Structure 1
């Protein structure tokens, strides 16, 4: 109540912010502004790759920034000589501290649009997959990841939706299209994803890296993973779990969540 209002007048509470209570509605509104058939054609032409510099609205971006800053103290930092250096927050921590991100990941409007772009029927990843949705932090000089494919250990295809959250850096997402299509020449490119921008790709087809951060730079991205078949063979599950533990989230975060679980991650 305002300090100038009478104490016997009941004021209505302020309306809830759509960014925190209705992520599906916010995504649906964003999608209405897009030419989906044209974007589907771009995705096909580029070998299962699409970049948009604008997707999420400012309210949703602000919510992601706030959550990203709040979770930064609990990130798991990792260093693999010659390949990667940075910090990660898995979906398990996000589930506990940032349900808005989990709701955004499961948005029916978002999944339906991704299906139109990819041409595949998509499913969310199993509950035990720490990569289903995760935050990746480049906050120290030299943080980076080298050239790689996002190899899927799932029985079906897996698509990555990369969402820009914070970028006060010189980091670039560099990529090469068509590297696994011999009849088409490789096509190099690079983007710097602004807050709310997205990159969608099939990780088994896109060779890519993130260039090293400079001093006093910050880059944070959010990834969503969707699959066409959530099944995974046991020996591939073991390889995937070990990779997650060593290179991303730590043994405690990965294996304490797998106790009693039947499925696992696929990155």
Structure 2
């Protein structure tokens, strides 16, 4: 989205078998990529859109192409780790939690913690944001729609935290007819509901306040393939114990399985072999 030079450093190294120096540029980092991309956006106008739409924003292009390609590769590599769930009348699909991502795809964790990304999100939301606690499997997770009928029904991303929770949804792979259907202003008595629908291309973004946006993912058809990545950020990471239990049970049943949720919870979110 911009032709500014990416941040990189060069050093003179000697290639094997030759005495000639070779200038090698360090790989771009997720933080540098985000800083470069967001600097090219009309952020004041985007902030106005976010407020006008009741804490909702859609961009069909957000991530740099290299970062998007990295996510696509990782999403395909993580397929053996998918945990599938089926809740009749509400949800069918697969998920990979932040705990598995931490073990096999640290690039995603680095992107989640990007200071440039969090700073941009704070500019959009007007809130000071924090990452979710290490025990939260939803902090960043991949969601797979790979079988006919995979979907999630109408819902809110209800926050069990003491503060607000914002969802950032990134398109990773979209070889499907699935769409994000949504309704704006459903909890604003002074404004009429406003329906909308988008297909999120790879590298595209949706940002919203989970308690305000009613939304769903429409069912996948046969031989379709869709993967999205969600990042969750909070204004206050505190959570009452009984709400933590409710949240953990929901994550275990509807998304990641009891082993992922409670084994990681008991270990304080630390990785295990």
TM-score category, normalised to shorter length: over 0.9
1:31 Cα deviation from its structure 2 partner: 0.3
Residue of 241, 244, 262 corresponding to 1:237: 244
CA separation of 1:76/1:10 partners in 2, compared to 1, >3 Å: closer, same or farther?
Answer: farther
Instruction: Tell me, in whole angstroms, the C-alpha distance in 2 between the residues paired with 1:152 and 1:51.
Output: 21
- Deviation of residue 62 (structure 1)? 0.4
Match of 1:141 in 2: 148
Number of aligned pairs?
A: 255
Q: 1:218 aligns with which of 221, 225, 229?
A: 225
Give per-residue Cα distances to partners, 1:168-208, cap 9 Å, x unaligned: 00000000000000110000000000000000000100000
Deviation at 1:11, TM superposition (A): 6.3
Report SS of the residue matched to 2:166.
strand
- Report the counterpart of residue 119 of structure 1 in structure 2: 126
Q: 1:6 to 1:56 in 2, by over 3 A?
A: closer
Gaps of 5+ in 2: 1-14
When the two structures are superposed, what TM-score results if normalisation uses the length of structure 1?
A: 0.92
Aligned equivalents of 1:184 and 1:6: distance in 2? 67
Cross-structure match for 2:89: 82
SS in 1 for 2:92: strand
Query: Hey, what's the Cα distance between the residues in 1 that align with 2:18 and 2:169?
Result: 51
Residue pairs, 1:153-232, within 5 angstroms? 153-232=160-239
**CA 1:30–1:6 in structure 2 vs 1: closer, same or farther (change >3 Å)?**
closer
Of 32, 36, 51, 2:43 maps to 36
Counterpart position of 2:64: 57
CA distance in 1, matches of 2:250, 2:148: 24
Match of 1:17 in 2: 27
- RMSD of aligned residue pairs (Cα, Å): 1.5
The alpha carbon displacement at 1:69 in A equals: 0.5
TM-score when scaled to structure 2?
0.90
Could you tell me how far apart the structure 2 residues matched to 1:55 and 1:105 are? Answer: 14
Q: CA–CA distance in 1 between the matches of 2:194 and 2:31? A: 34
| Unaligned runs of at least 5 residues, structure 1 | 263-267
Give, in angstroms, the shift of residue 16 of structure 1. 4.0
